[in-house]
Amino acid sequence: MTTPTPEIRAAREALLLEVTQIPTAAGHESAVMEFIDRWLAKHANAVTTQRDDVGNYLMTQRRHSGNAPLLIITAHLDHPAFVVTAVTGTTIHAAFRGGVNDPYFVGADIEVIGPGNERAQAVIATLAAEAKPFKEITAELAAHGSASTSAPPAWLAAGCIARWKFPRAEIRDGLIHTDACDDLAAVAAALCAFGEMLHTDQCGHVGLLFTVAEEVGFIGAIHAARNTWIPKDARLLCLENSRSFPNDSPIGAGAICRVGDRISVFSPTLTNHLAHLFSAESKQNPAFKWQRKLMAGGGCEASAFACYGYQSTCICLPLGNYHNMVDIDGVAAGAQPARVGQEFISIDDYHSMITMLHIAARGIDTTLPESTEQLMERLYAERSFVLTKSRRDP
């Protein structure tokens, strides 16, 4: 499905808006899981679902063509956020699970979210940046409604999630501005692509893997890999949202076939195969845009899976306000005050990612016209005549 209808585009974007506003944190992904459970209930006859002992999801098509190894599209369910550890009067104590630079904390507005989606606002008062295993903060509750702040809401307790306080998500000027693109925009893209694939016979054996606790060190992915919970011959296509660098990986130039991250270079055979498929599509369909980049600004689960012997690579969305940090470089240089902001991605890049997933599912089991090894051998056969023994005149 390389050219979606306006109705399909609208449905994809509605899902994106909904999913990226769901509160989530590493180890506290239950609200996103509940959304996925509701999505699965609509596709129960077409999908087989498994959950492991830490909450990772694996879902596959009940009906598929061919006997090729499983292609698993992965995304993680968490985003950097706070987990409340204690409440003392109007003071909230919380641990921050994820990577955000120290200047962005003190003075920032946050919202605490209760088990019934109740909300309370607070302002960060202190930061213990050296606390282990996670940074710790205290925050003071703001007045809620007409009530005084002499006592916290009855629902507010240890285990609640807190996150930066932002306005509602919106799409404007071709961008979505929302709480958490990383990695919930990828979750939305994976669900859209997989749901569309369920109605076609043109893709092979495809599944989805949703992992937990990525933002604190790929913990869910490592758990799945160490326990060989997913087939060892599976090909993993990990989805991410990665910091955009305007002169290298611009927002709006298409989703990115990512060849590596700050940790490693991904499985070259799988990456090259996908890049060939995307290149071939762009020649046939000039409207299709994609990029091929390293994206060394962060780490990706593709590196984790590769360390445990899996063939893995990545497609990512170029991301603005990475981890909700506005102007990271300006703040680091002391040129700008630190402030948090909504993450943003291009809507066209989001549709590009879904198109790339369709292309990958449809073509991953095809034989390339020429492998990289065959290319090298052909070049040598055609041009080795240029090699001459070095001579030096007497």
**Residue 363 located in a structural domain:** yes
Centre a 10 Å sphere on the Cβ of residue 380 and count the other Cβ atoms it contains: 10
pLDDT over threshold 70, residue 361: yes
The dihedral region occupied by 159, where left means phi > 0, alpha psi between -120 and 50, and beta the remainder, is left
β-bridge partners, 136: 95, 128
**Residue 181 located in a structural domain:** yes
Q: Which of 116, 143, 164 is the last residue of a domain?
A: 164
The position carrying tokens 């080795």 is: 384
Looking at the fold, whether 95 and 157 belong to one and the same domain comes out as yes
What was the pLDDT predicted at 393? Answer: 57
pLDDT over threshold 60, residue 149: no
352 φ, ψ to 5°? -60, -45
Read off the CATH number of the domain in which 131 is found: 2.40.30.40
pLDDT per residue over 103-117, tens digit each?
999 999 999 999 999
**Residue 189 located in a structural domain:** yes
- Total domains in the chain come to 2
**Residue 209 located in a structural domain:** yes
Q: Which two tokens stand for residue 194?
A: 């997989």
Residue 185 · residue 171 · CB < 8 Å? no
What was the pLDDT predicted at 366? Answer: 85
Looking at the fold, whether 109 and 210 belong to one and the same domain comes out as no
Looking at the fold, whether 188 and 138 belong to one and the same domain comes out as no
Q: Which of 111, 143, 164 is the last residue of a domain?
A: 164
96 φ, ψ to 5°? -100, 120
pLDDT per residue over 213-262, tens digit each?
999 999 999 999 999 899 999 999 999 999 999 999 999 999 999 999 99
Read off the CATH number of the domain in which 285 is found: 3.40.630.10
Looking at the fold, whether 279 and 144 belong to one and the same domain comes out as no
Looking at the fold, whether 177 and 264 belong to one and the same domain comes out as yes
Residue 368 DSSP symbol: P
pLDDT per residue over 258-305, tens digit each?
999 999 999 999 999 999 999 999 999 999 999 999 999 899 999 999
What was the pLDDT predicted at 62? Answer: 75
Extract the runs of DSSP E, i.e. beta strands, from 98-191. 109-113, 119-128, 135-141, 161-164, 170-172, 175-178
Looking at the fold, whether 151 and 182 belong to one and the same domain comes out as no
Looking at the fold, whether 285 and 230 belong to one and the same domain comes out as yes
- Where is average pLDDT lowest: 158-162, 172-176, 337-341, 387-391? 387-391
DSSP 181-229: -TTHHHHHHHHHHHHHHTT-SSS-SEEEEEES-GGGTSHHHHHHHHTT-
Q: Which two tokens stand for residue 22?
A: 């769901």
50-54: average pLDDT = 94
* Owning domain of residue 303: 6-79+169-372
**Residue 1 located in a structural domain:** no
What SS3 class is residue 41?
helix
The position carrying tokens 């509602």 is: 168
Residue 172 CA, distance from chain mean position: 21
At position 67, the amino acid (one-letter code) is N
Percentage of the chain beyond pLDDT 70 is: 94
**Residue 391 located in a structural domain:** no
Looking at the fold, whether 153 and 199 belong to one and the same domain comes out as no
Label residue 146 by pLDDT band (50, 70, 90): very low
Range picked from 291-300, 314-323, 376-385 for highest mean pLDDT = 314-323
Looking at the fold, whether 137 and 224 belong to one and the same domain comes out as no
Looking at the fold, whether 289 and 340 belong to one and the same domain comes out as yes
Looking at the fold, whether 70 and 93 belong to one and the same domain comes out as no
Average model confidence (pLDDT) across the chain: 93
Looking at the fold, whether 121 and 244 belong to one and the same domain comes out as no
**Residue 390 located in a structural domain:** no
141-150: average pLDDT = 62
**Residue 180 located in a structural domain:** yes
pLDDT over threshold 90, residue 330: yes
pLDDT over threshold 70, residue 201: no
